[in-house]
């Protein structure tokens, strides 16, 4: 469904930003694709 690289990047982003999945998904659709700084 998505390229493996996308999943790998998403996993790195989730881990490094320490978002739960729901917050991460919201951020993914509404903000920059990588670790938005608060």
Q: C-alpha distances in angstroms, 11 versus 14, 16?
A: 5, 8
pLDDT for the residue 26: 72
pTM of the predicted protein model: 0.28
SS3 of the chain: CCCHHHHHHHHHHHHHHCCCHHHHHHHHHHCCCCCCCC
- For the cut 50, the answer to whether the pLDDT of residue 38 exceeds it is no
- For the cut 60, the answer to whether the pLDDT of residue 35 exceeds it is no
pLDDT for the residue 25: 72
Do 19 and 38 touch, CB atoms closer than 8 A? no
pLDDT tens per residue, range 1-31:
556 666 667 666 656 555 567 776 776 666 5
């Amino acid at each position: 469904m998505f390229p493996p690289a996308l999943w790998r990047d998403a996993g790195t982003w989730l881990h490094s930003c320490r978002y739960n999945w729901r917050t991460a998904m919201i951020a993914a659709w509404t903000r920059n694709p990588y670790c938005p700084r608060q």
